Amino acid sequence: MNARRRSADRTETIMQTALDLALEVGYAKLSMEAIAGRAGVGKDTIYRRWPSKGLLFLDSLLSLNQRALDYPDTGDVLADLRQQIHAAVDLLATPPWGPLYRALVGEAQHNPAVAAGLNDRFIQPQADKTVARLRAAQTKGQVSPDFDLELAMAVLSGPLYFQLLITQEPLTHEYVNRILDALFAGLDPRPRP
């Protein structure tokens, strides 16, 4: 086995160990020492790759995102948004993603490096995809030409994060559908009477 493959395997082992331990003991009790011990590597090996537990956890969690959260373009923007957001909600409802993602967002509240990494590597790319899909619909006349698409993204994601992080009620397809119906009442390109 070559050195590059061993390094990749070691990285994968460390990240999987971080996720496993976080699920067992919770993110707050997760330590670099425990990860190193269980992964069978030295702490220096971990710190060479990740300067903090939060950044290791960020990389580990984002490595799980196997499912594409890209938007289809079927010509029906509402159906496309519904399909993509249902996939995101299903991902958050599937262990280990949901509890670990909530822990990561919590860590981002007091760790600026984790907040920046989460925003740069996951939140902003997903927001950009949403706005791009809405912009394509706007160009085709499916969405009001004067609707602020960045605001639409905020209106769309706010209730999801509120329910995921604040009330901790389950995110369901029905809840997503209610949000989309409310949002599209304002996005509709037809003039209101």
The pLDDT tens digits for 91-140 are: 888 777 788 888 889 889 999 998 999 999 889 988 998 999 999 999 99
pTM of the full structure:
0.78
Range in 5-9, 40-44, 50-54 with the lowest mean pLDDT: 5-9
Domains of the chain: 3-63 (1.10.10.60), 77-187 (1.10.357.10)
DSSP the chain: --HHHHHHHHHHHHHHHHHHHHHHH-GGG--HHHHHHHHTS-HHHHHHH-SSHHHHHHHHHHHT--S--PPP-SS-HHHHHHHHHHHHHHHHHSTTHHHHHHHHHHHHTT-HHHHHHHIIIIIHHHHHHHHHHHHHHHHTTSS-TTS-HHHHHHHHHHHHHIIIIII-PPP-HHHHHHHHHHHHHHH--SPP-
